Structure 1
Amino acid sequence: MENDAHKSVAFDELINKTISRRNILKSGGAIGATGFLGGVSPLVGAVTQATSLMSFKQVAANAMDTITLPEGYTHDVLVAWGDPIVKGGAKFSTTNTAAEQVTQYGDNTDGMSLFHLTDANGSLDESRGVIAANSEYINKKFMHTHKGEAMTADDVKKEIAAHGVNVFEVERNKKNEWKVVQNGKLNRRLHGDANDFVMTGPATGHNLLKTAADPSGQMIRGTFNNCGNGQTPWGTYLTCEENFNGYFGAPEGTQMTAEQKAYGLSETGFDYNWWQEEERFNLAKNPNEANRFGWIVEIDPFDPSSKALKRSAMGRFKHENAALALAADGRAVVYMGDDERGEFIYKFVSHKKYVEGDRAHNMTLLEDGTLYAAKFNEDGSGKWLELTYGQNGLTKANGFEDQAYIMVYARIAARFVGATTMDRPEWVACHPSSPMVFCTLTNNKYRGEKDDQPIDAANPRAQNPFGHIIRWVPENRNHTSSKFGWDIYAMAGNPNTQTGAMAGSANVNADNMFNSPDGLAFDMDGRLWIQTDGNYSNEGIFAGQGNNQMLCADPVTGHIRRFMVGPKSCEVTGITFSNDQRTLFVGIQHPGEAWPNAEKDGVPRSAIIAIRKEDGGIIGS
């Protein structure tokens, strides 16, 4: 959400600092200069001068099995896979059952948000809150004592229960240390087997969502592969269903439809083989079950009895995260990425307008609206292409049955209208006080190799093993505008092993280099936080880049500085701040060796860490 407080960047100053996109790159990886529309100046280019936003000393890349932070910072493990989070929850053990996992924090933590509670006077309580956090998938070799080789019915139930969303209260003591309130009245698990989900919007009750178990086509069982997230100004949590296709298969064999193929569904899936015990994952018998996943899901963290709402108006694809801004006229605008090579960036604009203080009304904003897919032109201009039945050729004559069909198969609609295929669009982040939007493009081995993924200005590097970050500003600074101007903020790379475009953009150097930008978020002062999920081999073209990491960047100067390095084998993902910005919560997903207490626990465990300054100061400053 845009926030008028903390106006650290004056937008007029930003757009007056003009350089071409060609100057951003060290060599000819981009075409032309980036211009804004309607007389607005080009985006500021990336340069490497110092920044006033960041005062911490950069940490060096490394391959250690620990958390590395700048001098003066420390961290605590807040919660890890298997920790009890509901009243009476079981303690972690490698022999925990499915029934015990339902009471515990799920596996492979990912996107998260902290919502502060209020005190007896109705004021914001800086020391109490509720966290909603995703558990994306499971590590089969750690989840079972038999390493997942001889699955039982309870093993399948346990894996399903380890997915989903964790909601739990937290509190901070006088030492600025946060702890889980295990008996918190708001604590609950919304897992892959929970009957807590209702479909809303144009796809509700459509034939594509009906199953034998749910002939209404609106009462959904479970959520899984919950990747990134979003947070609304009315105090709800948006969880994003990503690689849902991997849980489905057709063991008897079945011919996949064109629509199923467009979403990566196959006979074998990702070898979860849940269909052996749970028939709903068998595509031959339940072809519509997969259509009930791949959505943005809105959760009220303050009401443990409430249903979670799957928002079909926002489209079905492999949702990475959801970045919400309020437009000048009060409509909610949500930017989203579809995390697969050659897929698209989307924008949802609500029909209704936000009303301050009317939470019941605001919780209907995401039920209805217009979905768009982005087209990035070579000259630095862009356009949002409407995905509405009857518009842009989306008619029955062209195979689009109705609006529900377009939402269920948003990928097919976006491709039909000519949106730009991108290099795995992942997290999107909106600047807190300026209408700038950033998106990580993690990597794409097919760029320049497949006919539908040619090298272009927005994706200028063949095969793109390192990834890049793109940004745009809407015409007239209006998030509801159909036009925007864009440029490339950073090209990740390795100047030690590569030359030309593969070395990275001018703001990437031997000291701060990284690959595969993934998580992305702004703090209230306008610092841009970049998390990576890439190649941590430290070999070949990735030599010297070390483990996955989190960097901090200045969106005006382009300056990038490494803030944290994660333990071996992990992905650094998920980020949220306390309201006073004195605690930064970060997720450490799939650590592979001894972190944090593998010797004691028997296995490494995914966890959320709470980072703080030893002097109690603001993170990053």
Structure 2
Amino acid sequence: MPDPLPMPGHSGGARDAMTCLYRCGNACAHPIPNTSDNPYFGDIVNAAMSRRGVIRAGALVLGLGGATVPATAATASPAAPSTGAGELTFKPIPPNTLDTFIVPNGYDSAVVIRWGDPIIPGAPAFDPDRQTAQRQVRQFGFNNDFLGVVPLSRDRALLVANHEYTNEELMFPGFTTLEAMTVGQIEVAMAAHGMSVVELERVAGTGQWRQAKSGRLKYNRRFTMLATPFRLDGPVAGTPLVRTAADPRGVSVTGTLNNCAGGVTPWGTVLSGEENFNQYFVGGDAVPAADKARLSRYGITTTTRYPSPSRRWERAQERFDLAKHPHEANRFGWIVEVDPLSPDEPPRKHTAMGRFKHEGANVIVAKDGRVAAYMGDDERFEYLYKFVSDKKYRPGDRRHNLTLLESGTLYVARLTGDSPAAEIDGTGKLPSDGAFDGTGTWIKLVAGDRSFVPGMTAVEVLTFARLAGDAVKATKMDRPEDVQPSLRTGRIYAALTNNTNRGVGTNAGPDEANPRRENRHGQILEIVEAGGDHTGESFTWSLPIVCGDPADPNTYFAGYDKTAVSPISCPDNVAFDSAGNLWIATDGNALDSNDGLFATPIEGPARGHLRQFLTVPPGAETCGPFITSDDRSVFVAVQHPGEITGATMDKPASTWPDGDYAKPAVVVTWRLDGGPIGS
């Protein structure tokens, strides 16, 4: 198997060129969309490999697990009780490059569902030589990313999975080029995007789960780019910026696109973030001049007809040609809400939460009963956002709670360091006060139909939130991905994956929150809202973990003894078990090992004692970690295994999970003695 190529694209770490091509359209090979002159901190300072395994974290209640906040008491409190033993006791596994899953001794794992498995009653078994869109819309989609698990009972649950993008080389036998694809193959790829809802059942009272084979399976659904209607709500719905020839009212969008991470709400719905939607459109060179700057800010090519690469979806559906339908792109880049318990209800896109390249959204109920959602915009030098609802959460009133994300206030973050600028030298060396930390402000962008950004209407602020962030001088971050509050402490944790362009050429240089030049390994950001108020506008922040090889003096693990810490690179998703331990999934490991899942306490004397729990196969990304509320099961999405330049379905770089060719899949891991995961 060839060694991975140096990362020229998406992650800036060690992700293979094939990932860069398909996930984000070689974003890192194109000009950085954020060309604003926002100041950076330097300017504003002082003013065991025996078993296969898999995993991820989230924490629900309702007897199984899944919601970002408990459905009955969805407020964060330092006194929130732990239902798990708490102390992490597993022996960390070593880094490796094996074509399998590795989990600690005493654990086991099993594939729950894989690409192509039938999920709609009557769907045919998967046959790589007989793929059609009509078959794929009834089968589990490709490249599963975020996972949410919503309980039906103690032994039944609904798995909700995002399908972010497709790798055509790894999907079609005999594949040659994107340009040579047939319209039928394009439609298969469109059908493989989107989301799936799949009913699960527990296996014999253990921590293992499998696809339910009995019952009506009335909840199973597929959401695809081919024909699934999504309803727009909030201030942008019905406005000219989202009207098209096919939807002159501007209220209904076909499909959801490039869905990355997400979250489970206190009321049992699932949020999904639309991320790298820009790469699917052509014809940006022919849009009205007034639209070009807006499209470019979101990474859409406006100087030539075809981006490089081009999926050529306009051959299957004309709406992807912006020369003919210039507003179609404005209908993607939103937070989607799916109600898995109501299979007849259309999913929605919440325009009040802003449009950017959403990694996901995670909700917590604030002290006054309103809900706050935290979000990252996953691209180099982009921003952190917070949405606060107008209405208050009502326990047990699901119909009311389904309206909470339709109106509210959108904020963007500005962070300030507290160390002298000269002490932030770009190496990652700690400043003299012993910590990368400081204060921050949530800058109000829009509230309801009122804009707080000069020269932009409320509708423009929400539709072009990146431009609004530019205007108010938000802080440019190193790829802010998953952002999630801890229900135990109320603190918020963000994965800043990497940014090899930090400090290069005319790009923004290192600052206290992004302290390393040419950052390959990323860091974890911790935010503490002032007074514990998630609706407030001020906070303090710190970097408890600066990732990389612990032997590197310019890494940091909350002050813990680094000789006992596992190496970690490119944090992507974060989540929590019921004891409050932080679990971190990686994407693009730049330390010559497969990606994996890690865990660390974030309180007490073991804070920063990070250890590796599992690894996924070569070329794969560790996605979705979701830990059930009883801590007995951890679900993980293994996305794009074998995604290595030169690999094809006919000549795979990985044969996981079935020994023939690589397939994205969801896996559940459990402890053999029935105890809590990790503890």
Partners of 2:611 and 2:667 in 1: CA distance: 20
Partners of 1:510 and 1:524 in 2: CA distance: 24
Partners of 1:148 and 1:222 in 2: CA distance: 27
Give a deviation string over 1:245-264, Cα, whole Å, max 9, x none.
11111287667711101000
Secondary structure, aligned partner of 1:126: coil
In the TM superposition, 1:38-437 aligns within 5 A as: 53-95=87-129, 96-117=131-152, 125-147=153-175, 149=177, 150-174=180-204, 176=206, 177-181=208-212, 184-250=217-283, 257-266=292-301, 267-269=305-307, 270-379=309-418, 380-388=438-446, 394-395=453-454, 398=455, 400=456, 402-437=457-492
Partners of 1:598 and 1:578 in 2: CA distance: 26
Q: Deviation of residue 596 (structure 1)?
A: 2.4
Query: Which of 468, 490, 515 in structure 1 is aligned with 2:523?
Result: 468
Partners of 1:60 and 1:608 in 2: CA distance: 23
Which runs of 5 or more structure 1 residues have no equivalent in the other structure?
13-50, 118-124, 537-541
Q: Deviation of residue 268 (structure 1)?
A: 2.9
Asked whether the 8 Å contact 1:492–1:505 carries over to 2, the reply is no
Secondary structure, aligned partner of 2:624: strand
Secondary structure, aligned partner of 1:257: helix
Partners of 2:559 and 2:306 in 1: CA distance: 44
Q: Which moved more, 1:189-198 or 1:448-457?
A: 448-457
What's the TM-score, normalizing by structure 2?
0.79
Asked whether the 8 Å contact 2:444–2:452 carries over to 1, the reply is no
- Provide the residue aligned with 1:501 in structure 2: 554
**Structure 2 vs 1, CA of residues 299 and 8 (structure 1 numbering), >3 Å: closer, same or farther?**
closer
- Provide the residue aligned with 2:678 in structure 1: 620
Partners of 1:548 and 1:509 in 2: CA distance: 21
Give a deviation string over 1:269-293, Cα, whole Å, max 9, x none.
4421111232111111111001000
For the pair 1:583 / 2:633, whether they are aligned, the reply is: yes
Question: Which of the pair has the greater relative contact order for Cα pairs under 8 Å at 6+ separation?
Answer: 2
Partners of 1:569 and 1:243 in 2: CA distance: 20
Secondary structure, aligned partner of 2:495: strand
Query: Which of 536, 549, 555 in structure 1 is aligned with 2:596?
Result: 549
**Structure 2 vs 1, CA of residues 64 and 5 (structure 1 numbering), >3 Å: closer, same or farther?**
farther
Partners of 1:84 and 1:378 in 2: CA distance: 52
Q: Deviation of residue 151 (structure 1)?
A: 1.0
- Provide the residue aligned with 1:46 in structure 2: none
**Structure 2 vs 1, CA of residues 449 and 436 (structure 1 numbering), >3 Å: closer, same or farther?**
same
Partners of 1:407 and 1:163 in 2: CA distance: 25
Q: Deviation of residue 155 (structure 1)?
A: 0.7
- Provide the residue aligned with 1:568 in structure 2: 618
AA paired with 2:568? F
Asked whether the 8 Å contact 1:349–1:480 carries over to 2, the reply is yes
Asked whether the 8 Å contact 2:86–2:580 carries over to 1, the reply is no
Secondary structure, aligned partner of 2:128: coil
Secondary structure, aligned partner of 2:461: helix
Q: Deviation of residue 6 (structure 1)?
A: 13
- Provide the residue aligned with 2:538 in structure 1: 483
Give a deviation string over 1:577-606, Cα, whole Å, max 9, x none.
233221110010100033424544xx2000
- Provide the residue aligned with 1:16 in structure 2: none
Asked whether the 8 Å contact 2:568–2:589 carries over to 1, the reply is no
- Provide the residue aligned with 1:31 in structure 2: none
Q: Deviation of residue 495 (structure 1)?
A: 4.2
Query: Which of 569, 577, 593 in structure 2 is aligned with 1:515?
Result: 569
- Provide the residue aligned with 1:438 in structure 2: 493
Asked whether the 8 Å contact 1:126–1:580 carries over to 2, the reply is no
**Structure 2 vs 1, CA of residues 387 and 9 (structure 1 numbering), >3 Å: closer, same or farther?**
closer
**Structure 2 vs 1, CA of residues 485 and 88 (structure 1 numbering), >3 Å: closer, same or farther?**
same
RMSD: 2.3
Asked whether the 8 Å contact 1:342–1:422 carries over to 2, the reply is yes
**Structure 2 vs 1, CA of residues 321 and 7 (structure 1 numbering), >3 Å: closer, same or farther?**
closer
Partners of 2:502 and 2:406 in 1: CA distance: 35
Partners of 1:504 and 1:355 in 2: CA distance: 39
AA paired with 1:234? W
Q: Deviation of residue 168 (structure 1)?
A: 1.1
Partners of 2:94 and 2:340 in 1: CA distance: 38
Q: Which moved more, 1:299-308 or 1:509-518?
A: 509-518
**Structure 2 vs 1, CA of residues 393 and 336 (structure 1 numbering), >3 Å: closer, same or farther?**
closer
AA paired with 2:570? S
For the pair 1:594 / 2:654, whether they are aligned, the reply is: yes
**Structure 2 vs 1, CA of residues 5 and 200 (structure 1 numbering), >3 Å: closer, same or farther?**
closer
Q: Deviation of residue 185 (structure 1)?
A: 0.7
**Structure 2 vs 1, CA of residues 404 and 452 (structure 1 numbering), >3 Å: closer, same or farther?**
farther
- Provide the residue aligned with 2:585 in structure 1: 531
AA paired with 1:388? V
**Structure 2 vs 1, CA of residues 252 and 242 (structure 1 numbering), >3 Å: closer, same or farther?**
closer
AA paired with 1:67? F
Q: Deviation of residue 617 (structure 1)?
A: 1.1
Asked whether the 8 Å contact 1:432–1:523 carries over to 2, the reply is no
Partners of 1:454 and 1:302 in 2: CA distance: 47
Partners of 1:230 and 1:148 in 2: CA distance: 37
What's the TM-score, normalizing by structure 1?
0.86
Equivalent residue pairs, number? 561
AA paired with 2:190? I
Partners of 2:503 and 2:69 in 1: CA distance: 37
Give a deviation string over 1:203-254, Cα, whole Å, max 9, x none.
0011110000100111110011110011111111101101011111128766
Q: Percent identity?
A: 40
AA paired with 1:371? L
Q: Deviation of residue 451 (structure 1)?
A: 4.4
**Structure 2 vs 1, CA of residues 148 and 291 (structure 1 numbering), >3 Å: closer, same or farther?**
farther
Partners of 1:427 and 1:445 in 2: CA distance: 19
Q: Deviation of residue 368 (structure 1)?
A: 0.1
Q: Deviation of residue 612 (structure 1)?
A: 0.4
Secondary structure, aligned partner of 2:314: helix
Which runs of 5 or more structure 2 residues have no equivalent in the other structure?
1-67, 419-437, 643-652
Secondary structure, aligned partner of 2:524: strand
Partners of 1:566 and 1:54 in 2: CA distance: 21
AA paired with 1:501? N
- Provide the residue aligned with 1:17 in structure 2: none
Secondary structure, aligned partner of 2:573: strand
**Structure 2 vs 1, CA of residues 63 and 616 (structure 1 numbering), >3 Å: closer, same or farther?**
same
Secondary structure, aligned partner of 2:405: coil
